[in-house]
Amino acid sequence: MARVDEIAPDVYRISTYAKSFNLQFCQFLIVDDEPLIYHAGMRRMFDGMRDAVAQIIDPSTVRWIGFSHFEADESGALNEWLELAPQAEPMCSIVGAEVNVNDFSSRKARGLADGETFETGRFRWRFFHTPQVPHGWDAGHLFEETQGLLLCSDVLGHDGDVPAITEDDVVELMRGQLTSYRGTPFDDYMPYTPHTTGHIERLAHLEPRVCATMHGSTVRGDGATALRTMDRMLREEFGPPE
Ligand SMILES: [Fe+2]
Ligand SMILES: [Fe+2]
């Protein structure tokens, strides 16, 4: 059974710990006039996630299924959600919609342009297209302006069966995760490109107060510092030689 924690008013973190990966997989439910789920999750985790959502709202009322990039933990159970929730539509970047989702999905996606804004009721959202941050040319992030909530996908991700929320630095944990992949087929999980710092800086400039990562504790506090510290770590570990 997935674990449910309210990490900000009407924002629920639904976490499943996968022991074999020593990794949490989190989805987020944002309860508003138009309920939004961020990360459809893997197909094999769908039943647990649906039951967790049902503790809070009727899952068939979900309106939007958003995600950063096309990948099993982000979008695997998309069609299961669309079948369960007849009003639901996928939501992702234009690249994500046109390259993957509109072929994979049983319903067409709403493709968001960089900087596009929308409301789900009282919450106001802005979309940022951030190719290759964390990975994939379709990658993007949603920011909710009234609560300073950044739905940040694999950004600030870290291993372990950790608490739902932390105010501590997670960047060293993230460094440990990324460097542990060296020499394995999973290396280059998060590339450092000439555009990485610029994308991260745009997110840091928002000064998020809650950074809701897919893998690990939601980071509450000074999101700008956390993101800039992460950028420095990525450059140190994966950037060009100084
Ligand atoms: Fe990913
Ligand atoms: Fe992920």
Output the pLDDT for position 240. Answer: 87
241 CA → ligand 1 middle, Å: 26
Mean pLDDT along residues 142-165 = 98
Cα 136 to averaged position of ligand 2 atoms, centre (Å): 11
| pLDDT band, residue 97 (cuts 50/70/90) | very high
Ion ligand 2, residues whose Cβ is below 5 A away: 73, 154, 214
pTM value? 0.97
pLDDT tens track for 50-93: 999 999 999 999 999 999 999 999 999 999 999 999 999 999 99
Name the class of domain 3-238: alpha beta
Cα 140 to ligand 1 centroid, rounded to whole Å: 11
In this model, does residue 1 exceed pLDDT 80? Answer: no
Distance of CA 1 from the midpoint of ligand 1 (Å):
23
Average pLDDT, the chain: 97
Q: Given a cut of 80, is residue 139 above it in pLDDT?
A: yes
For residue 133, report the distance from its CA to the centre of ligand 1, in Å: 9
Centre of ligand 2 to C-alpha 54, Å, is 23
Task: Report, as an integer, the average pLDDT of 154-169.
Answer: 98
Question: Could you tell me the distance, in angstroms and rounded to a whole number, from the CA of residue 86 to the centre of ligand 2?
Answer: 26
pLDDT at residue 161, as a whole number: 97
Identify the pLDDT of residue 21.
93
Please, where are the H alpha helices in the chain? 46-54, 72-75, 78-84, 94-96, 102-104, 171-180, 196-204, 223-238
Taking the C-alpha atoms of residue 47 and residue 75, their distance in angstroms, rounded to an integer, is 15
Q: Which ligand is nearest to the CA of 157?
A: 2
Dmax (CA) for the chain in angstroms is: 53
pLDDT in tens, 177-227: 999 999 999 999 999 999 999 999 999 999 999 999 999 999 999 999 999
Span from the CA of 191 to the centroid of ligand 1 (angstroms): 12
